[in-house]
Amino acid sequence: MSSSAAQIWRPLADQGDAGAQYLGEGVPQSHAEAVKWFRKAADQGDVLAQSRLAVAYWKGEGVPQSYVSAHMWFNLSAAGGGQDAVKNRDNVARRMTPAQIAEAQKRASEWKPTKPPR
């Protein structure tokens, strides 16, 4: 996407629009930057962003690899109807100890969405 797309989407993302935060259109690819925006949208309850953030933690792209965090975000995405989130969560769980799974489930149950800035 062109730099003019970035001029449209970036202000929306900065204002807390979860859809714009998830898209990241028109900016150079950076896993760390993508994680930053996925996290903002995921924190607002955007199920697609939650799945993308989970993948980042699963693969260690832009963040340190963490199966616990990946499981947590896949679990939240699955609860919101995210496609493939259940399958992906179960794939991550195969690499985790029971204690890690319990920690991920605890974090997911304690998670609360944030509101975008006004």
pLDDT value of residue 14: 62
Q: What 3-state DSSP class applies to 26?
A: coil
Mean pLDDT by runs of 10 across the 118 residues of the chain is 46 56 55 86 93 95 96 97 94 98 98 77
pLDDT value of residue 115: 76
pLDDT value of residue 3: 45
**pTM for the model:** 0.74
Query: Nearest-CA neighbor of 75 among 53, 60, 97?
Result: 53
**Angle (CA) 22 111 107, round 5°:** 110
Q: For the chain, which residues make up each domain, given as ranges? A: 3-110
Per residue in 27-55, pLDDT (tens digit) is 556 778 888 888 989 999 999 999 999 99
Residue entry with tokens 């690499």: 95
CATH of domain 3-110: 1.25.40.10
Q: Are 54 and 70 a contacting pair, CB within 8 Å?
A: yes
